Amino acid sequence: MNFVAVIPARFGSKRLPGKPLLDIAGQPMVQHVYARASASKADRVLVATDDQRIADAVISFGGECLMTRDDHPTGTDRLAEVADLLKLSADTIVVNVQGDEPLLPASVIHQVVEILEKHPQASIATLCEPINRVSDIEDPNQVKVVKSQSGRALYFSRARIPMNSSIDCGVHYRHIGLYAYRAGFLRDFASLNPTPLEQFENLEQLRALEHDRFIQIEVAIESIPPGVDTESDLEVIRRQMEDFGV
């Protein structure tokens, strides 16, 4: 299983400025994410950033960093530049490991690569998991997804989908922001115009769906703790790290 893991990292998060460098158990968050990605046995792990402060932090802990442009509208667009800078062949698998997932299990990184290998017609492979709390269904920071019986993603939203249903019906899924693509698709994606639904929902994967690419999705084989979107999320992660003795 050959693939490259890339961690796109921006300093200018609107909700948590400087998010990749926020301290968790004595290390910047990006270092925790880098360690998770490295545990996946990827052929290469690197951070893609447009900020020298992040690059300096990555270099300081011995990681690999690639400087990219500062005008990318999404992390996927940033990965497209990485594919070009590294001159990756069109069939090289690239995994987008979100920089705000410091507790991401390495096993699920393998899983998205396997999904893409099993479905050669898919443009993107990604993951979801059942939602077990009503508050998460209503939380716009928890992205929801609905999928077909064959596992194709039908739609992603920050709103409750499906609408008229209860937590007991077993159809609510939280999207896990972990993606596998082929380098050829990344270049194709960057050439596509941003779409209305992508902009309304602020979800880049909708650009692929609106341009008739298909996304294959599976339930994650291991439970995935939520990432860090807000200050309260950060405090939860810090407490969990303390519990783990990190």
The dihedral sign for the CA sequence 146, 147, 153, 154: negative
- At residue 59, the pLDDT reads 97
Is residue 94 within 8 Å of residue 75, measured between CB atoms?
no
What's the pLDDT score for residue 48? 96
Helix axes of 52-60 and 29-38: crossing angle, nearest 10 degrees: 60
pLDDT in tens, the chain (246 residues): 699 999 999 887 777 889 999 999 999 999 999 999 999 989 999 999 999 999 999 999 999 999 999 998 888 999 999 999 999 999 999 999 999 999 999 999 999 999 999 999 999 999 999 998 888 899 998 999 999 999 999 999 999 998 877 777 678 999 999 999 999 999 999 999 999 999 999 999 999 999 999 999 999 999 988 788 888 888 888 888 776 655
For 129, counting Cβ atoms within 10 Å of its Cβ (0-12 exposed, 13-18 middle, 19+ buried), the class is middle
Cis check for the bond before 120: say yes or no (omega within 30 of 0): no
CATH code of domain 4-244: 3.90.550.10
Cα separation values, 227 from 115, 178, 238, Å? 22, 11, 12
Global pTM reads: 0.93
CB 219 within 8 A of CB 173: yes
